[in-house]
């Protein structure tokens, strides 16, 4: 019997898309990215630091994010992330791919 879950686990490949989308409206520090994803998904996806920070680093290495250091709302040093032009292009590609996947899944489930 499957174990019940309160929250959905992130499907592979969706975390990058959610991070890119979270940063469309402006730069955020890591905790801010996590909070925005939580709000965008109505609490369905809660991204833990152990998943978030490696993903942010990976996206920065790919050139999709840029970062700078600044004070957080509680005056601590925080790394702020923002989309690059390449990140904005990648977001468009990820959204198009996700739309194709959801249409295909809907067809498969209706069959």
Separation in Å, CA 88 to CA 2, 24, 44, 48, 98: 39, 8, 24, 24, 15
Q: 58-92: per-residue pLDDT in tens?
A: 999 999 999 999 998 889 999 999 999 999 999 99
H/E stretch holding 22 reads: helix 14-22
H/E stretch holding 27 reads: none
Q: Would you state the structure tokens that stand for residue 15, as one six-digit string?
A: 């975390």
Task: Quickly state the pLDDT bin for 3 (edges 50, 70, 90).
Answer: very low
Q: 86-106: per-residue pLDDT in tens?
A: 999 999 999 999 999 999 999
The domain limits of the chain are: 14-110
Q: Which CATH architecture has domain 14-110?
A: Orthogonal Bundle (1.10)
- On average, the pLDDT of the chain sits at 90
pTM given for the model: 0.86
Q: Would you state the structure tokens that stand for residue 58, as one six-digit string?
A: 């990976």
């Amino acid at each position: 019997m499957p174990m019940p879950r309160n929250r959905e686990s992130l499907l592979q490949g969706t975390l990058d898309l959610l991070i890119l989308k979270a940063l469309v409206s402006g730069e955020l520090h890591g905790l801010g990215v996590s909070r925005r994803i939580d709000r965008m998904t109505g609490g369905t996806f809660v991204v833990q630091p152990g998943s978030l920070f490696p993903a942010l680093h990976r996206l920065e290495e790919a050139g999709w994010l840029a970062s700078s250091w600044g004070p957080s709302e509680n005056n601590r040093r925080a790394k702020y992330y923002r989309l690059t032009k390449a990140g904005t292009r990648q977001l468009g590609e990820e959204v198009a791919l996700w739309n194709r996947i959801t249409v295909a899944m809907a067809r498969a489930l209706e069959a």
